[in-house]
Each structure stands twice: as structure tokens, then as C-alpha cells.
Chain A
Amino acid sequence: MANTVIGSSIVIDGEISGDEDLVIQGTVKGKISVKESLIVDRSGVVEADIETQNVEVSGKVTGNINATDKVELKSDCRVIGDIKAPRILIADGASFKGNVDMDVKEP
């Protein structure tokens, strides 16, 4: 139920929050916190800290990602920042710079 689409020619400088899925094809600077899932499309540029459940990145993200379930970095994406999530998938071809914290409990 991806209801909200930030189109490719839209630029948002500020804070996005909500309990709905979000698709970003444009540019967002600031802070994003959505309840369920965030998709950064191929044309999307995000310079923001992200807090959500699931993240799928095909575009560019600069900022820290904090997901409660899963982060997926698709091929061709560019991500700079720290990722914290229990499940992290990085596809072949993706570029990423930063820390990964899967929050593994030491036995």
C-alpha cells in the first residue's frame, strides 16, 4: 500500500513522518520516520536520518538508517552512513560506506 510518492522533481527540506509507506523518487533532506516501509527509488536522493521498519534503497542515501526489521541495498545504490537493523541485505553492485550493526547478542 504505497500511497505516498515523492515524485522525481520534488524537493523536501524538513521532516517527514507518518504511519504509511513512502516512496521517494525525488530529493529529501532532513529526517524521515515512517512506521512500515520506505523505498528510495533509483532517482531518489535522501540526505536524512531514516527510522522505519523496512528500507529498500535503489537510489542515493546519505545518513544513518535505523530499521526495526530489514534494510535492503539494491545494486546501483549508493549509501553513506551507519545502518542498524536485524537483517541487512546488500546486493552485488551496491556501494556502501559506513557501519553495519545487526545488534547481535553475544552468546
Chain B
Amino acid sequence: MAQSEQTGIIGKGITIRGNLTGGGDLVIEGRVEGQISLKNHLTIERNGHVEAEIRAEELTINGEASGNIDATSMVSISSSAKVAGDIKAPRVVIEDGAVFNGTIQMDVKLPDNI
């Protein structure tokens, strides 16, 4: 993966309400409510709490997320995560121990000759 610039950390004492857009990577340890649209990688840390529509290239969830997720590359839900919402991504990984409620759409294209 190409090295993208580290663009931001939302620390655990911080709450953001509204729209958050940008390029680069973002780590959320605090609270975000609203909409997130990010060019690269979004990580929601263990203490992070996100109630938002999320669009990103890649998403790693270790904390809590509710809202619909649209990732162009991959969504990874780790064992400490709690996720509610619909996920749309070509690759979705859910670890043992993770809590997930919602639908997953991997947008699989079957070959024509089947």
C-alpha cells in the first residue's frame, strides 16, 4: 500500500458533530456524529464511538460504530468492535468476538460464463 500522510487524530476527549471530509488517514479515539468521508484509511479505536455515515477507502473498526459504511477497498471489524449498520465493500473481514448487526454487500461480480 502506498504510504499516505497521517492526517489526523480525534482524541478521546473530543466530540465532533457534523461533516468531516478529507484525504489522508484518520484515527478516531473520541466521538464523531454526522458524516465522514475520507479518501484513505479510517481507524476507529477501541474507545472511539462513531454515529455516522462513513465513506472511506479502507476502514478498521476496533470500537463502536453505527451507521452505514461504504468502503471502496476493505472493511475490517476486529474482535473488540460493535457495529450496527449496512456495509458495502468489496472485502469485509469480521473477527471472532466482534458484534455486528446489519447487512453486508460485497458487490460480487460473477463471471459471465457461469
What residues make up the interface of A, taking CB atoms closer than 8 Å to B? 3-22, 26, 30, 34-35
Classify chain B: how many residues form its interface, as a range: 20 to 34
Residues 1-30 of chain B: 1 if any A CB is under 8 Å from the residue's CB, otherwise 0? 000011111111111111111111010011
How distant is the Cα of A12 from the Cα of B26 in the complex, in angstroms?
A: 12
Residues of B within 8 A of A12 (CB): 16, 18-21
Residues of B within 8 A of A9 (CB): 5, 7, 22-24, 39
Residues of A within 8 A of B10 (CB): 4, 6
How distant is the Cα of A30 from the Cα of B18 in the complex, in angstroms?
A: 9
Check B102 for interface membership: any CB of A closer than 8 A.
no
Whether A18 contacts B5 by the Cβ 8 Å rule is no
Whether A7 contacts B19 by the Cβ 8 Å rule is no
Check B97 for interface membership: any CB of A closer than 8 A.
no
